[in-house]
Structure 1
Amino acid sequence: MQLAQGAILSDKADESHYRGVPVAAKRGNIEDRNGEVLAMSVSTETVYAVPAQVRSSGRAEEIAHALSGLLEMGPEQVMEKITKRSALEYVKKRVTAEVAAQVRALELPGIGITEDSVRYYPNSTLAAHIIGFAGIDNQGLEGIELTRDDQLNGVPGAVLTEFAANGIPLPFANQMYVSPKNGNTVRLTIDKNIQAFAERELQKLLSGQGDNMNGQVPKSASILVMDPNTGQVLALASAPTYDPNYYNNYDQSTRRNIAIQNGYEPGSTFKIITLAAALEEKKISPQEGFFDPGGVTILGKTVHCWKHGGHGSQTFTQVVENSCNPGFVAMGQRLGMDKFYEYLHDFGFGQKTGIEMSGEAVGILAGKKRATALDLATMSIGQTNNVTAIQLLTAVSAVANGGTLMKPQLVKEIVGPAGNVVESFEPQTVRRVISEGTSKTARQMLESVVTNGTGYRAFLPGYRVAGKTGTAQKVANGAYIQGEYIASFIAFAPADNPRLAILCVIDGVPFYGGSVAAPPVRGVLQDSLKYLGVEMDLKAPLTLGKPRLDMQIPPVKKAVTVPSVLGLTLAEAEKSLRQAGFTVLTEGSGTVVQDQIPHGDSKVEEGSSVLLYLGSEAGAPTSGNWWAVEEEVDIDIETMLQMPWRQPLSQ
């Protein structure tokens, strides 16, 4: 037996004789792309009990009372733990060094102290939605802490002591120490400084101090920054946020990563995709002429341009500059349903991007089989479909980088405890979507949006910036919410050789994307380009385009509440609205107000127009128009319908 089975039997005997007190391994760090620590483990200590030894001492009650005061626990709770039928029981984890020293000094039988660790996030709220947090047992619960839990977790060690069958240590017992193996470090693609720039701008928005916000505080907002050439995410910030050091002290809603998990109608920012597809299929050219009469009627419904009376004759470059709805509807019609859906798929909409975050949403696309010509029109201008912020930024990055869709990347490499790279991750190409030539043309047209069009608030002297504004009405319970919008702005720079692509989405404001979402993008771009050492382009414009200089740019006005005038006569309604500072427009015939847009109690910009639907005292409004005013340009206002309001499509 000794010769044939000696080693096996000896190991079995040791398993019975030796009992270990675990020594926790330190969880690996989470770092930014430059090695800046975002999450780390710090040493702490844990009080444990060997219940068999406590019971055999006959001093269980005395021990329970002695520990309860030091550990701030009830005597009954301590008693339950130290007399439990188990080989080893943790009494309290993560005690201070002072408490651990006091427990040691008592020299209580069956009570010991072992080394432990606690997760610490040195930058407080910075990148909280990416990092996530770990629980009391150092298990990853959200974010990278969860998705890379296996790499971050180490292998615990132990202090092994020989025990007799009764659970009491043997006299002169042998002891063995098994060293713990610390976890690996996860190094992200995130840049701590660019992340800080993004979070600074979000903090301004959430405190009501953002440019043109006039004290208004949105429900939430997010800013994403990506290297469009590699798909590496450089910043992913959401607000409201939380401190992962004290995650239990925050409402659970603050931990939601809205840039990944929330979908929304993108509005005019999506027009970049329509433009790229139309250019690729050679359905339009930049200097081709187009006439905008002010609206286009499809299946009996009118999709209006934001400018009352339309833009008239213009080139397709000017269509893009002016965010002209009929022009983009024409692009969608020329593409046709099959080609439009083909590009939706190729750009990654209606499917997960594969970014390393739990709970990624797929978005919602209108079913192709049921889609009508009107659906094609509204999809072309960024309505009807639901996308996530990460989907849109990834798709626009493909337009910016030469036409290749890249998979969004958050983890750069895994580094071992000794500092050696265990595994590195290269950028992943998904597919080519458009040609280099199409990408170049689209970049030039989108640069013109910033220098000559609706995106002028993102203009950076000395840098070539391309971008697009977006304003979309919010949907709840199958209907649009009056007076509440999702404002957004997407940009990339330098326009001729993009280093950064950035998207800002602001949820729950009564203002337009160009007004409130472009300034945060400008702030992040300006600081990030300088930080990355991107030199100013001597050929880039230092002032806005000449057409812009000749225009009177009105300031963004404060938000005011629209009074309800339902049931009033036209004369009474006009008096009430004009006294409140609104312009009155009417549709239909009759003397009684049957409906109004925006609805009563909605918040809109001061001086906006209110559309009244007139009819007889009994009956529905006579107008059947479907309003789709998508974008506000802040120029040449005239009698513009300052209403980005839409009635939901009929069933």
Structure 2
Amino acid sequence: MKKYSQGSREAQEKQKNDKKNVPVLVITYFVIFIFIGMMVHLVKYVVIDADSDIANSYNKRQNLYAETVIKGQIISDDGVVLAETKTDDDGNETRVYPYSNMFAHAVGYDSNGQAGLEMVSNYFLLTSNQNILYRIYHALSDKKDMGNNVITTLDYDLQSTAYNALGDNDGAVVAIEPSTGKIKAMVSKPDFDPNQISSVIEETANSDSSCLLNRATQGMYPPGSTFKILTTLEYIRENPNYKSYSYECEGDGIFNSVSIHCYNHKVHGTVSLEDSLAYSCNTSFSNIGTKLDMDALNKLCGDFLYNKELPYDGYYKKSSYTMTSKTDKSLIPQTVIGQGETLITPLHNAIIMCAIANGGVLMKPYMMDRIENCDGSVVKKFSKDSYGRIISSAEAQTLTELMMSVTEYGTASDYFSGAEYTVAGKTGTAEFNENKDSHSWFIGFSNVNNPDLVVCVLIENASNTGASATSIARKIFDAYYN
């Protein structure tokens, strides 16, 4: 009995000690957990994130590399030097842009701040993979190494055509290979000479000029009738019998107490869904819009990246779409024809068309193809990368067939008459003020059975200049195939 009592006391003492040790164990395990977490984070940074963080265009430490490296060249896909550093006899370096304004927004500038590829690819241009013997020699003789060169996806001939075709008009052009995401041309006007960037910045600071704004990626415009592509898709989703759609267009109509008219009040007569898109019939689409599920249309717009980040490394603005079932219904007739409060950039409109052209799968747009050292050896290759499926392949095919009506007998037929290639696309007229002044849009792709190129053209205030976005698109497509 006594022995049992002694054992009980020992057990009780052990329990007391165990209870006292619980906080110590908790703290110990917590410290171990934190330590393991820190180690995992450190390994992840060293193995995975370090290079991307160093290469981040906002990392100011990159500029320290300029003390030991001469910044490399930016070169077009077809071998044309677009930016390079010239060094005089005294060792003074000057960044030179041989084609001045033509590539101004795509290539950017490298003094008084940075923009374009000069900013995005700064790390690669200031990193040297020159032959090790030369680097040792340069280190011993206090000379700089030659930086790596960035080979872009930009095509000189296509860029030149787009730049010249846009002429004196303000606006933007974006051309992308839908199967890869390679950006072949990007033009914005008004433009500037990056060789004179100091004076350009000084002049723009004291004026209303917006020449530094890259309208292709940062210009926000009503999509106009190009938005009817999404309205069409939503109608198809909600109405499997969409081929039987019929509407009697009288040139004008009242929808949700809002007056809508077709361009120049043109009477289109009896139109199908295909005809409605081909002729860009505003009253037909407003009629369609009043019957659509606005929340479903909002989701569709989100799927096409409205209000979302774009899979693009450069600087851009997010497009905006606000219509839901809770929004004032008087906005529906305007919204479904691309007016109202909806805004989009030319780059984003091109991205939407790329997804359709590529069978519903969006390839991430990019402008850097590879990095080479000064001897031409490949240091890094940027491969095409899929963002994911946006719509089904069947939906993409249906939209393609409907958009072909635009170029075969609709609003773009006169412009593509006689072309040796097929085109599916959509024209757009986007009013932007109370005076009914409008921008001109065209988005489309060529060789519809195996799409080669997506082209998006936006011309500002075209109603007062007489310029046509579709005419410019035709010139770009022609240049691509010639």
TM-score by length of 2: 0.76
SS of residue paired to 1:238: strand
Q: What are the superposed Cα offsets for residues 140-174 of structure 1, whole Å, 9 maximum, x if unpaired? A: 6111111221211247xxxxxxxxxxxxxxxxxxx
1:37 partnered with 2:81:
yes
Kept in 2: contact 1:460–1:526 (CA 8 A): no
Identity %, equivalent residues: 28
Distance in 2, Cα, partners of 1:411 & 1:379: 36
Distance in 2, Cα, partners of 1:470 & 1:447: 15
Shift of 1:347: 0.7
1:500 paired residue number: 453
Q: For residue 453 of structure 1, what is the amino acid of its counterpart?
A: G
1:239 paired residue number: 189
Shift of 1:180: 2.5
1:381 partnered with 2:354:
no
Shift of 1:396: 1.6
Shift of 1:262: 1.3
SS of residue paired to 1:470: strand
Please give the root-mean-square deviation of Cα atoms over the aligned residues, in Å.
Answer: 2.7
SS of residue paired to 2:88: strand
2:9 paired residue number: none
Shift of 1:307: 6.0
Kept in 2: contact 1:276–1:399 (CA 8 A): no
Distance in 2, Cα, partners of 1:187 & 1:309: 49
Q: For residue 259 of structure 1, what is the amino acid of its counterpart?
A: A
Match of 1:466 among 424, 436, 440: 424
Q: What are the superposed Cα offsets for residues 276-323 of structure 1, whole Å, 9 maximum, x if unpaired? A: 333345455345433334444333223233364743322211111111
SS of residue paired to 1:377: helix
Match of 1:372 among 328, 350, 355: 328
Distance change >3 Å, CA 231–CA 448, structure 1 → 2: same
Match of 1:433 among 390, 395, 400: 390
SS of residue paired to 2:293: helix
1:510 partnered with 2:466:
no
2:103 paired residue number: 127
SS of residue paired to 1:349: coil
Q: What are the superposed Cα offsets for residues 237-279 of structure 1, whole Å, 9 maximum, x if unpaired? A: 1112122112233343222111111101010111122223333
Higher CA-based Rg: 1
Q: What are the superposed Cα offsets for residues 84-142 of structure 1, whole Å, 9 maximum, x if unpaired? A: xxxxxxxxxxxxxxxxxxxxxxxxxxxxxxx3422111222221101111128xxx611
Q: How do 1:510-529 residues align onto structure 2 when only pairs under 5 Å count?
A: 510=463, 516-529=468-481
2:155 paired residue number: 191
Distance in 1, Cα, partners of 2:402 & 2:323: 31
Say which structure is richer in helix: 2
SS of residue paired to 1:234: strand
Kept in 1: contact 2:355–2:361 (CA 8 A): yes
1:323 partnered with 2:280:
yes
Kept in 2: contact 1:231–1:409 (CA 8 A): yes
SS of residue paired to 1:302: strand
Distance change >3 Å, CA 483–CA 383, structure 1 → 2: closer
2:441 paired residue number: 488
Distance in 1, Cα, partners of 2:327 & 2:352: 22
Q: For residue 431 of structure 1, what is the amino acid of its counterpart?
A: G
Shift of 1:177: 2.1
Distance in 2, Cα, partners of 1:400 & 1:428: 16
Count of equivalent residues:
400
Q: For residue 41 of structure 1, what is the amino acid of its counterpart?
A: T
Distance change >3 Å, CA 367–CA 325, structure 1 → 2: closer
SS of residue paired to 1:397: helix
Kept in 2: contact 1:45–1:117 (CA 8 A): no
Q: How do 1:107-256 residues align onto structure 2 when only pairs under 5 Å count?
A: 115-135=91-111, 141-154=114-127, 176-203=140-167, 206=168, 218=169, 220-250=170-200, 251-252=203-204, 253-256=210-213
Distance change >3 Å, CA 117–CA 427, structure 1 → 2: same
Shift of 1:179: 4.3
Task: Give unpaired runs (5+ residues) of structure 1.
Answer: 1-21, 47-114, 156-174, 207-217, 475-479, 531-651
2:408 paired residue number: 451
SS of residue paired to 1:134: coil
1:298 partnered with 2:248:
no
Distance change >3 Å, CA 467–CA 512, structure 1 → 2: farther
Q: For residue 446 of structure 1, what is the amino acid of its counterpart?
A: M
1:263 partnered with 2:220:
yes
Q: For residue 177 of structure 1, what is the amino acid of its counterpart?
A: S
SS of residue paired to 2:230: helix
SS of residue paired to 1:263: coil
SS of residue paired to 2:145: coil
Kept in 2: contact 1:355–1:410 (CA 8 A): no
Higher relative contact order (CA 8 A, sep 6+): 2
Distance in 1, Cα, partners of 2:180 & 2:238: 25
Kept in 2: contact 1:39–1:121 (CA 8 A): yes
SS of residue paired to 1:255: coil
Distance in 2, Cα, partners of 1:383 & 1:154: 47
Worse-matched range after superposition: 418-427 or 290-299: 290-299
Shift of 1:497: 2.3
Match of 1:28 among 59, 69, 72: 72
Distance change >3 Å, CA 284–CA 228, structure 1 → 2: farther
Q: For residue 126 of structure 2, what is the amino acid of its counterpart?
A: N
Q: For residue 247 of structure 1, what is the amino acid of its counterpart?
A: I
Distance in 1, Cα, partners of 2:116 & 2:93: 20
Distance change >3 Å, CA 193–CA 383, structure 1 → 2: same
Distance in 2, Cα, partners of 1:118 & 1:309: 57
